[in-house]
Amino acid sequence: MSNSPKSAPRVPLKVLYEDNHLLVIDKPAPLATMGAEAGQPSLADLAKDYLRVKYNKPGNVYVGVVSRLDAFVTGVIVLARTSKAAARLTDQFRRRSVEKTYWAIVADPLPDQAGKLEHHVFKNDARHRMEVAACRDQLPADAKLARLGYRLIASHQHRSLVEVKLETGRKHQIRVQFESIGCPILGDRKYGSEVAFKQGIALHSRFLSIDHPTKQKRIEFESEPPSVWRIEKFSFCGDDS
């Protein structure tokens, strides 16, 4: 079974930061970053509407998409308001100088409280999803190396709250890699979860750090997970309770 965004939220955007070059948003789910299904808005569409109304801009409004979050993923995402900012941010993502941290709730048991996952992943067109290559000696032609690091933050009722830092940026990487070790992300029916989730999937863009495209300074943004995660019920590592 696969997740399918049947209805994207039509609510005001939660803007974390904006200036003449950037628009940083706390993205809800389900909402495609761009290229939404017919009749559904995308984050880029809503951002253009927001800027058009706020600044009374006639005609087309420029919004540059420099990275994406899956429709079912929530949290921090940066958009560019100028072509100069878009080019410079795109270069940062290409050089991997951007720091991104995700939180996820996954099924237990994790193999270790902290570790790294490394697989070769490829697109399975027949199944419309990414896959982990079963044998490194016989890789599909389009297979690419995927690496990430994780650490356990908290646990609750056979579920683990983990922090994830990507070392590569492959499509659906976090989702397919945690599925491959038997710890699918909560609610992610496409990648192995058998547990229902009220909103999207339990994968959240928690932290983003970039170089401002014009001000020559590092800027950071953070987003709390949605309330449906019920983080308060988790026992955090190091807690005495």
| Per-residue pLDDT at 8 | 46
Asked if the structure places residue 232 within a domain, the reply is no
Asked if the structure places residue 234 within a domain, the reply is no
| Per-residue pLDDT at 241 | 41
Asked if the structure places residue 137 within a domain, the reply is yes
| Per-residue pLDDT at 135 | 79
Asked if the structure places residue 28 within a domain, the reply is yes
Domain count across the chain? 1
pTM: 0.90
Asked if the structure places residue 241 within a domain, the reply is no
Asked if the structure places residue 168 within a domain, the reply is yes
Q: How many CB atoms lie within 10 A of CB 184?
A: 24
| Per-residue pLDDT at 104 | 98
Asked if the structure places residue 26 within a domain, the reply is yes
Task: Identify the domain containing residue 72 by its residue range.
Answer: 14-226
| Per-residue pLDDT at 134 | 87
Sole residue written with tokens 């079912």: 72
pLDDT-flagged residues of the chain (< 50):
6-9, 240-241
User: Residue 173 to residues 98, 117, 144, 165: CA-CA distances in angstroms?
Assistant: 17, 10, 11, 11
Rounded CA separation 52/57 (Å): 5
The secondary structure of 196-233 as a DSSP string is: --SSS-SEEEEEEEEE-TTT-SEEEEE-PPPGGG-GGG
Contacts for 39-42: CB closer than 8 Å, 24+ residues apart = 40/5, 40/7, 40/8, 41/8, 41/10, 42/8
Asked if the structure places residue 185 within a domain, the reply is yes
Task: Please check whether residue 224 is in contact with residue 217, taking contact to mean a CB–CB distance below 8 angstroms.
Answer: no
| Per-residue pLDDT at 239 | 55
Q: What is the DSSP letter of 83?
A: H
Q: Which CATH number goes with the domain that contains 57?
A: 3.30.2350.10
